[in-house]
Amino acid sequence: MAHRPLACVILAAGKGTRMKSDLPKVLHRVAGRPMVGHVLAAVKTLDPDHVVVVVGPGMESVAAAVAPYPTAIQHEQRGTADAVRAAFGLLEGFTGDVVVLYGDTPLVTPDTLHAMVAARRRSDDPAVVVLGMRPDDPGAYGRLILNADGGLEKIVEYLDASGEERAVGLCNAGLMAFDGARMFDLIGSVGNDNAKSEFYLTDVVQIARRGGMACAVVEAAPAEVVGVNSRAELSEVERLIQRRLRKAAMDNGATLTDPDSTIFSVDTKLGRDVIVGAHVVFAGGVTVGDNVEIKSFCHLEQTRIETGATVGPYARLRPGAEIGPDAHIGNFVEIKNAVIEAGAKVNHLTYIGDARVGAKANIGAGTITCNYDGFGKHRTDIGAGAFIGSNSSLVAPVTIGDGAIVGAGSVITTAVEADALVVARGAQKAYAGWAKRFRERKQSEKAKKA
């Protein structure tokens, strides 16, 4: 079959007033990615020939976020049909299929988009395919009115609907697929004689029917088409996507001890037989190998953890942390921009930043890499098999050779040779009987005063 071209138009010009935010609505994040990024990710699975994102004036930040896809500006918010018209300039002469999506409806799945395109290409050749849903509470959604043959007859906006129409449970989710050859005329004929004096995209159905064209409905689960207009709805969408991500993680062979408290980003990658304790947060960019255990209360971001490592409880892995195979990262440990090589142990109360910890090195409790001098960052390099005694400060830039031992409580400021013992702390002095004599003197002074 000849390739039929496909275009996608994403509407994102709405101001999002109810978000009460300086950030354009579609840039608010769910599972670590801006909403419009989720829509684009779903759209990409259709392999479209064109994608246009419609934004409002001054939304350069949205344009930057969706680049390299082009944006069209809708200068005034005059309704959803007007918003699609704003994209016409970039689609001139296009006669393939056109899918219209909303930037604030981020949970739509590739399967649903494929079903809409397939329905558009059916033999009855509908001019418009509308995505429908049956929410528990149809609220103020537009209602889909079917005809006797089960085809779509019209969409009525809630404000314009009669009592009988409001009783219909089948609602407009908002997304539509058009035959591009007919779309420009259909949307061009939409007027604004309605309760809001807006150009409703939904009017195209009635216009198409009057012209004798077929229109069809594809239904989606309501959870997939939840739109975000407020922070409460944003949190609801976050909840739904987390549920999806948790299920996917478990389906792929990870154990989540308390799934409801595991927070994922869309790009989290977990290997097989990973065990995740309660209250673990995967911020963006985390990759975890097989057989890794991440114990409770860890926060991980832009981090790679290799096979067999254990992390936590209460560890913070910041951008650039690379935890090698079978390494141990324990409680109250913070690691940033540092490679912890195979089998190394950093088990307690430690900060490792801008560093390398060689294979099988052991970092004692309370070790700090002093990487920052108030102006710049400096590196610490710890050799394989080195042993850093507890409560040591390694003042970077500094190198600890392979197999060296650093005595507890040391402040290391210059390079330590391989296999050396270095102790850099005040020498211990002892004064026999001093404490006892001190106490006796104090007690007799006290007795004299009384």
> Which residues are designated catalytic?
348
Which stretch in 168-176, 283-291, 359-367, 412-420 sits in contact with ligand UD1 by CB under 6 A?
168-176
74 binds, among Mg ion, ligand UD1, none (CB under 5 to 8 A by kind): ligand UD1
Binding mask 177-216 for ligand UD1 (x = CB under 6 A): -----------------------xxx--------------
- Asked if residue 227 binds Mg ion (CB under 5 A), the reply is yes
> By CB under 6 A, what part of segment 377-416 binds ligand UD1?
none
Count of residues that bind ligand UD1 according to CB under 6 A:
27
CB of 67 to ligand UD1, least distance (A): 18
CB of 388 to ligand UD1, least distance (A): 55
Cα 317 to the center of its chain, rounded Å? 17
If the CB atoms of residues 159 and 248 are measured against ligand UD1, the closer one turns out to be: 159
What is the dihedral sign for C-alpha 433, 434, 438, 444?
A: positive
157 binds, among ligand UD1, Mg ion, none (CB under 5 to 8 A by kind): ligand UD1
> By CB under 6 A, what part of segment 101-120 binds ligand UD1?
102-104
117 binds, among ligand UD1, Mg ion, none (CB under 5 to 8 A by kind): none
Q: How many angstroms separate the CA atoms of 349 and 187, rounded?
A: 63
77 binds, among Mg ion, ligand UD1, none (CB under 5 to 8 A by kind): ligand UD1
Question: Binding residue for ligand UD1 (CB under 6 A) from 80, 242, 371, 410?
Answer: 80
- Asked if residue 174 binds ligand UD1 (CB under 6 A), the reply is yes
If the CB atoms of residues 12 and 400 are measured against ligand UD1, the closer one turns out to be: 12
Helix/strand/coil for 439: helix
If the CB atoms of residues 78 and 244 are measured against ligand UD1, the closer one turns out to be: 78
- Asked if residue 141 binds ligand UD1 (CB under 6 A), the reply is yes
Question: Binding residue for ligand UD1 (CB under 6 A) from 18, 29, 78, 244?
Answer: 78
CB 401 within 8 A of CB 382: no
395: number of CA atoms within 13 Å, CB side?
9
Question: Binding residue for ligand UD1 (CB under 6 A) from 34, 142, 364, 401?
Answer: 142
Q: How many angstroms separate the CA atoms of 221 and 213, rounded?
A: 27
CB 190 within 8 A of CB 210: no
> By CB under 5 A, what part of segment 150-179 binds Mg ion?
none
CB-closest chain residue to Mg ion: 227
CB of 139 to ligand UD1, least distance (A): 9
CB of 55 to ligand UD1, least distance (A): 8
Q: How many angstroms separate the CA atoms of 167 and 157, rounded?
A: 13
Count of residues that bind Mg ion according to CB under 5 A:
1
121 binds, among Mg ion, ligand UD1, none (CB under 5 to 8 A by kind): none
If the CB atoms of residues 190 and 406 are measured against Mg ion, the closer one turns out to be: 190
Chain residues that interact with ligand UD1, rule: CB under 6 A: 11-14, 54, 74, 77-80, 82-83, 102-104, 141-142, 155, 157, 171-174, 200-202, 227
Chain residues that interact with Mg ion, rule: CB under 5 A: 227
